[in-house]
Amino acid sequence: MATLTATLRLRRMSTRRPGDPLLMVSAALAAGLVVLAVIGPWIAPYDPAATDVLAASQGPSGAHLFGTDSLGRDIFSRALTGARLSFAGPGIIVLGSAGLGTLLALAAAWHGGWVDRLLNRLLTLLFAIPGVLVAVVAAAVFGAGFWAPVLALTLVYTPYVARVVRSVAVRQRQLPYIEALQLAGLPTWRICLRHLLPNVAPIVLAQATIGFGSALMDFGAVSFLGLGMQPPTAEWGVMVADGRSEVLDGAVQQSMAAGLCIVISVVAFNVLGERLTQRFGGTR
Amino acid sequence: MSVSTSAAGVPARLRTSWRHPATALAMTYVVGPVLTILCASFLLFAVLTLSPGDPVAQLLGPHASDSARAAMRVRLGLDDPLPERYWHWLTGALHGDLGTSLTYREPVSDLLAPRLLTTFVLVGMAAVLILVAGLVLGGIGGTSPRWRPLVNALAGLGIAVPAFVATTFLISVFAVNLGWFPTGGAGSGFTDRLWHLTLPAIALSIGYAAYLIQMTSSAIGEEAVAEHVLTGRGRGLPGSWVFRRHILRNAALPILTASGLTVAGLVAGAVVVEPAFGIDGIGSLLIRSVSAKDYPVVTAVSALIVTVFVVVTTLLDAGQHLLDPRLRKGR
C-alpha cells in the first residue's frame, strides 16, 4: 500500500504542469539566500569584527561594497556573516512550530471530540497573545539572547500552522483511503505517519515558508529592541539598531544594508510561500 | 486550564439549555473572552513571578536589614502560594492597583496613565492611516484590473518591510535629510504631538496597511466576478448601484475582519516603534522594564495589551454578527 501511494505520488509529480515563473524565481532567490547564509562567514572579504577607525563611516566603494560603519567595520562582510544568525533563528522557529503544529493538528484531526476542542481552546488562547509580546516576556524571564526569543516565537507560530493543517487533515481523515488502511489493520501511527502526513506535507511546507518571512521580521525586531542578539554580534536586527545613531549623522549605509537584506529575504520567502499555497490548493 | 471544560464537562441536560440563543451569545461575547483574558493574564503573571530575581533586593537595595527584608516579603506577599498571589494581583488590578514598580518605586498605575495617552494617540493615528490607505488602495486594486498588479506588488513589498526597518528609513529621509519632522520624542500639546507622532504612525502602519490592502483587494476582486454581480450588470443596473449593493455588502465582512485584526495588533506593534523613535509610551515602558527586570510593570503592561487585543477582536466578532444575518441564524 505504501509503495502504491509512493508510486502514485511519483507519477503525479512527474506529470507536466503549467509553469509558474514567479514560483521559480522566488524559489531560486530563497535558495540562493539560504546558500549565502550558510557559506557567508567563509566568503566574507573582511573579518566582520575587525575595526578600522581610520576608515570609519565611509560610503560604498570598491574596497567596501556597502561602506563601513562608525567603527570602520566592513558592512558587506557583517551583512554576509550576519545572514547565518538571522536565518538560523527563524529557521529553528519554523522547523519547531511546523513540527509541533503538525503533530497537534494530526492528533486533533484524528481523534476529534474533546482532543479537538481542547486544542481549539488552546489555540484561541495563544492567538490572543501577540507574538512580539511573548518574545519580549520570554526575554524578561530567561534573559536576552538567542534562545529565549526563538523558543517563544516557536510557541507563537505553532497555532498558525496547527489551524491550517488541522483543516486539511480533517478533510483527509474522512476520505475512503484512511478507512481502507484501517480495515487493512495498519496501526494508527503508521497510517498517520506514512499516509496522512504525506498528504498534508505540501500545506505544511507552504505555511512554513510564509512563516519563515514573518519569523525573520519578528526575530530581527527582538534583536533591534536589544532583547535578542547583542552587539557587537553581526546580525541584521542588531545592525539596523546599531546604525540608528549613524543615521542621525547622515550615514545610512549600515541600517539600510541590513534593512534591505531583511526586506529582500522576506519578499522572497513570502512570494514563494504564496505560490506554493496556490499550487497546493490550500487556504491561507 | 478551566477554559477547556466549557462544553465537555457539563451534563447533557444542562448542555441543551446552553444552546438558548441569549446564553450562547453571552458565552461567545462575554464569558469566552473574559476566560481568555483571565487565562492569558494568569499565564503571564505566573511566568513573570516565578522567574529568577529578588524583588525585595531591588526595592530595598543591598544594605537593608533582615527584619526590613522580611517585612517587605510579607507586604509583597512573596511567600504566598501562586494562586493566592494571582488573586491578590487580579483584585488589585480591577480596583486600579497594579502593584509597585521595582525601579521607579511608584505605583504602576501612575506610570501607565500619562503614557497611555501617548500610545493611544500614536495607535489612533496609525489606525486612521491604515484604514484610509488600506481601503482606498485595496478598493482600487479590487475594482480595476489595470491597477491590480501594481497595487498587489506595492502591498507585497509593504508587508515585507518590518516597522523597525521603516523607522530608520523614514528618519533618514524625512527627519535628517528633509528636516520636515523631528527625529524623535512625543512632543507636548495637541498639534506638536501630532507632528511628532506622524513618522512613528507611518512606520507602524506600513505593514498593517499592506495586509489590509491585500485583503480588501482580494475580497472585492472575488466578489466582482461573482454570478449575482454579473447578473446585476446583465440586467442593466447602474455600475455604482451594483458596486454598493452587491459587491461592497458581501466584501464588507472579510474587510471588517482584516481591519479589526490589524487595529487589535497595533498596540503590540507600538512596542517596537516607540523605542525606535524615543517616544515614552507604554511600549517603551515595557521594553525598559524588561531590561530592568521590573516584573510588576511588565506584568501590567502585557496584561493590558492582551486585554485590549481580546476586547477589540470580540467587538469585531460582535460587529460581524450584527452585519451578517446568516451568522445570526446559523448559531
Distance CA B203, CA B301 (A): 22
pLDDT of amino acid A284: 42
Closest chain B residue to A243, measured at CA: B168
Closest chain B residue to A227, measured at CA: B291
Q: Do A140 and B297 touch, CB atoms closer than 8 A?
A: no
Q: Which of residues 226-285 of B touch A (CB under 8 A)?
A: 265, 267-269, 271-272, 275-276
B172–chain A nearest CA distance, Å = 6
- The answer to whether residue A4 scores a pLDDT higher than 70 is no
Domain spans, chain B? 13-94, 108-330
Which amino acid, residue A105? A
Which amino acid, residue A40? G
User: What percent of chain B is modeled with pLDDT above 70?
Assistant: 92
Using 50, 70 and 90 to split pLDDT, how confident is the model at B18? Answer: low
Average pLDDT over residues A130-159: 87
pLDDT of amino acid A267: 92
Using 50, 70 and 90 to split pLDDT, how confident is the model at A94? Answer: very high
Using CB atoms, which residue from A132, A244, A247 is nearest to B272? A132
Tell me, what DSSP letter sits at residue B329?
A: H
Contact check, Cβ <8 Å, A262/B162? yes
pLDDT of amino acid B7: 45
Euclidean distance between the first and final Cα of chain B, in Å? 26
Using one digit for the tens of pLDDT, what is the confidence trace for B176-209?
Answer: 778 787 777 777 777 777 788 888 999 999 989 9
Contact check, Cβ <8 Å, A227/B291? yes
Domain spans, chain A? 72-281
In this complex, is the C-beta atom of B172 within 8 Å of any C-beta atom belonging to chain A?
Answer: yes
Task: Please state, rounded to an integer, the average pLDDT across all residues of chain A.
Answer: 82
- The answer to whether residue A71 scores a pLDDT higher than 70 is yes
pLDDT of amino acid A11: 53
Closest chain A residue to B283, measured at CA: A133
- The answer to whether residue A48 scores a pLDDT higher than 90 is no
Residue of B315, B287, B165 lying closest to A132 (CA atoms)? B287
- The answer to whether residue B331 scores a pLDDT higher than 50 is no
In this complex, is the C-beta atom of B16 within 8 Å of any C-beta atom belonging to chain A?
Answer: no
Distance CA A194, CA B200 (A): 50
Residues in chain A with CB shorter than 8 Å from the CB of B269 are 132
Task: Suggest the residue from B43, B168, B305 to mutate for an interface test with chain A (most A CBs closer than 10 A).
Answer: B168
Q: Which of residues 34-63 of B touch A (CB under 8 A)?
A: 36-37, 39-40, 43-44, 47-48, 51-52
What is this model's ipTM? 0.81
Using 50, 70 and 90 to split pLDDT, how confident is the model at A13? Answer: low
Task: Suggest the residue from B172, B214, B218, B305 to mutate for an interface test with chain A (most A CBs closer than 10 A).
Answer: B172
Closest chain A residue to B183, measured at CA: A248
Using 50, 70 and 90 to split pLDDT, how confident is the model at B126? Answer: very high
Using CB atoms, which residue from B48, B157, B163 is nearest to A267? B157
Task: Please state, rounded to an integer, the average pLDDT across all residues of chain B.
Answer: 82
Using one digit for the tens of pLDDT, what is the confidence trace for B27-71?
Answer: 778 888 898 889 888 988 888 887 777 777 777 777 777 787 788
> Which residues 6+ apart lie within 8 Å of A9 measured at CB?
A198
pLDDT of amino acid A3: 55
A138–chain B nearest CA distance, Å = 9
A5–chain B nearest CA distance, Å = 36
Contact check, Cβ <8 Å, B306/A129? yes
Least confident of A12-16, B123-127, B305-309: A12-16
In this complex, is the C-beta atom of B327 within 8 Å of any C-beta atom belonging to chain A?
Answer: no
Average pLDDT over residues B212-236: 85
Please state which architecture CATH assigns to domain A72-281. Orthogonal Bundle (1.10)
pLDDT of amino acid B210: 92
Q: Do B188 and B297 touch, CB atoms closer than 8 A?
A: no
- State the SS3 of chain A: CHHHHHHHHHHHHHCCCCCCHHHHHHHHHHHHHHHHHHHHHHHCCCCCCCCCHHHCCCCCCCCCCCCECCCCCEHHHHHHHHHHHHHHHHHHHHHHHHHHHHHHHHHHHHHCHHHHHHHHHHHHHHHCCCHHHHHHHHHHHHCCCCHHHHHHHHHHHHHHHHHHHHHHHHHHHCCHHHHHHHHCCCCHHHHHHHHHHHHHHHHHHHHHHHHHHHHHHHHHHHHHCCCCCCCCCCCHHHHHHHHHHHHHCCCCHHHHHHHHHHHHHHHHHHHHHHHHHHHHCCCC
- The CATH number given to B108-330 is 1.10.3720.10
Residues in chain A with CB shorter than 8 Å from the CB of B316 are none
Closest chain B residue to A114, measured at CA: B8
pLDDT of amino acid A186: 83
In this complex, is the C-beta atom of A59 within 8 Å of any C-beta atom belonging to chain B?
Answer: no
Using one digit for the tens of pLDDT, what is the confidence trace for B171-181?
Answer: 888 877 787 87
Which amino acid, residue A238? V
Read off the pTM. 0.84
- The answer to whether residue A145 scores a pLDDT higher than 90 is no
